[in-house]
Structure 1
Amino acid sequence: MEPLSWNIYRYRLPFTRPMRMLGRNLTFREGLVLQILDTQQKCGEGEIAPLEGVHQENLEDAERTLLSILEGKEVLSPEFPSIRFGLEMAWNVYLANIHHQKLIPKNFSALPVNALMTSDVENIDEFAQHQRQSGFKA
């Protein structure tokens, strides 16, 4: 296997409107994109984006721990699921690229998308009805 290098990119994307989640109004989403790269410029990317109130780690902890793992100073701990997800995603995409395969097979059938319920409790019935009328089944 070829030697690998890596890049970490930080992003912050504003929402078009606030999203209510876990008692908070979120106005943006932020995270990290990990890119692993070989000498032939084949790469894989993975996203690390812990959600406040869901994950124990915040973005700064995740970035610091990720760097420590990539530098071989620390091993991946089960207490950081967002980091594990990003590392596994980057590695699986990289493996698919070097083997000229797709992660999703050609004969993959469509997967239904569910609506994300983000309304205030007072408006949830109206919001759910609107989503059903828009074609969402769940």
Structure 2
Amino acid sequence: MRIRWKKRILNFKRPSGTSRGVLKQKPTYYLILEEEGKIGIGECSPLSGLSIDDRPDYEDQLDTVVNNPEIDLMAFPSIRFGLEMAKLDHANGGQRMIYESAFSQGRDGIPINGLIWMGAPDFMKSQINDLLKRGFTCLKMKIGAINFQDELEILARIRKEYPASDLILRVDANGAFSPAEALEKLKRLSELSLHSIEQPIKAGQEAEMARLCEVSPLDIALDEELIPVLNLVDKKKLLETIKPPYIILKPSLVGGFESSDEWISEAEKLGIDWWATSALESNIGLNAISQWTYIKNPNGHQGLGTGSLYTNNIDSPLEIQGEHIHYNPNRQWQLDELL
């Protein structure tokens, strides 16, 4: 078995704002596994300031994996996921066909939410109008970076025109609220018939988050809270302590599919629902996450619409049709730059 890695800088079509800053570029890495004439490709996609393996020695760790692919990667979840993805790809013929299903055969799609990035109110409104024209019935809006009253007014304007029966609205605060102000903001947001809010306060405040989940009039979904929790015992403890209505799984950040399956198993025991999202991977990672998501048969809209963010993404069979992501087996992967 031969393994090598390659770095690629993904360029956003336009700057994309979150409460943690504005994104213009996104580095990602590919593990390329070659054996018996087959090539498996996995994507390692750490997020700056968020992944626990956003570390100066990241590329050194990739070198170590090349020489010893059986090394313990618990502290490097995105590399762990990339290697898992490459092995699955190779084992299934090296054609990026990670999981066989109606989705990967091109016979079914996955409903996805439309994503609204932060920015000036007019920019956010233009994104909303575009997504609604394209047929999206579930929108997710990033909040926490501009004036909260402006965000409320944008949401209120949407809700006035589109009632909850016609349009699902989710918001993602990325931990932007302080514990002292969070409940009051959640009350105001709940007046707009929102579906849920992701990570209202910063991760690592379990007691505060548990209190919010207990008293909030708006359902809370844990996102960043899951990232540093690496073993099954701690996963179970976190969910039993906080008791959120939802968890959100980003395989690149939580250590891959096996780790995500553990989260799902423990959540379902407690009646906690979940959905999956990409974490700004290129189409290599997005494809694998989409195929895995489909076979898990989750409820509702998934966060898998990030493939069109970049000017230099890898051309793939993935397509967005209306509010669904599809895999078109008649389209070819364009992998010359990787291989």
Distance 2:69 2:112 in 1: 40
Q: Does 72-81 or 5-14 show the bigger shift? A: 72-81
The 2-side partners of 1:64 and 1:73 are apart by 13
Measured against aligned partners, the alpha-carbon deviations of 1:17-65 in whole angstroms (never above 9, x if no partner) come to 0111342111112111110001x32110000110012202227533211
Give the CA deviation at 1:71: 1.7
Distance 2:72 2:117 in 1: 33
Q: CA deviation at 1:124?
A: 7.6
Cα distance change of structure 1 residues 17 and 132 upon mapping to structure 2, 3 Å threshold = same
Partner of 1:54: 50
Counterpart CA distance in 1 for 2:4 and 2:69 is 17
User: 2-side partners of 1:24 and 1:10: how far apart?
Assistant: 23
Partner of 1:67: 63
Alignment-derived partner of residue 26 in structure 1 = 23
Q: Which residue of 1 aligns with 2:80?
A: 84
Which of 80, 91, 98 is residue 103 of structure 1 equivalent to?
98
Higher share in helix: 2
Change (3 A) 1:79 1:114: same
Query: Which of 8, 11, 14 is the aligned partner of 1:11?
Result: 8
Which SS does the other structure have where 1:85 is aligned? helix
Q: 2:132 maps to what in 1?
A: 132
Aligned residues: 133
Bigger strand fraction: 1
Name the amino acid aligned to 2:98. Answer: L
The separation in 2 between residues aligned to 1:52 and 1:101, in whole angstroms, is 26
Compute the RMSD of aligned alpha carbons: 2.7
**CA pair 73-103 structure 1, distance change in 2 beyond 3 A:** closer
* Whole-angstrom distance in 2 between the partners of 1:6 and 1:59: 22
Change (3 A) 1:72 1:105: closer
Spell out, residue by residue over 1:62-117, the C-alpha distance to the aligned partner (whole angstroms, 9 max, x if none). 3211221332398223222111110100000000017x994343533211232222
Give 1:70's aligned amino acid. Answer: V
Alignment correspondent of 2:34: 37
Match of 2:115 in 1: 116
Distance in 2 of aligned mates of 1:113 and 1:83: 26
Match of 2:183 in 1: none
AA of the residue aligned to 2:92: A
Moved more, 75-84 or 29-38: 75-84
Q: What amino acid is aligned across from residue 105 of structure 1 in structure 2?
A: E
Q: Secondary structure at the match of 1:17?
A: strand
State the alpha-carbon separation in 1 of the partners of residues 70 and 57 from structure 2: 13
Q: Determine what percentage of the aligned residue pairs are the same residue.
A: 26
Q: TM-score, normalised by structure 1?
A: 0.79
**Normalized against structure 2, the TM-score is what?**
0.35
SS of residue paired to 1:33: strand
Which whole-Å CA distance do the structure 2 matches of 1:22 and 1:74 have between them? 37
* CA–CA distance in structure 1, aligned partners of residues 135 and 12 of structure 2: 22
How far is 1:121 from its partner? Answer: 6.8
1:94 aligned partner: 90
What is the CA–CA distance in structure 2 between the aligned matches of 1:10 and 1:71, rounded to whole Å? 17
**Equivalent residue letter for 1:112:** P
Q: Which has the larger radius of gyration?
A: 2
> Conserved in 2, the CA contact under 8 Å of 1:22 and 1:53?
no
Unaligned 5+ runs, structure 2 = 139-339
Q: Post-superposition shift, 1:125?
A: 6.0
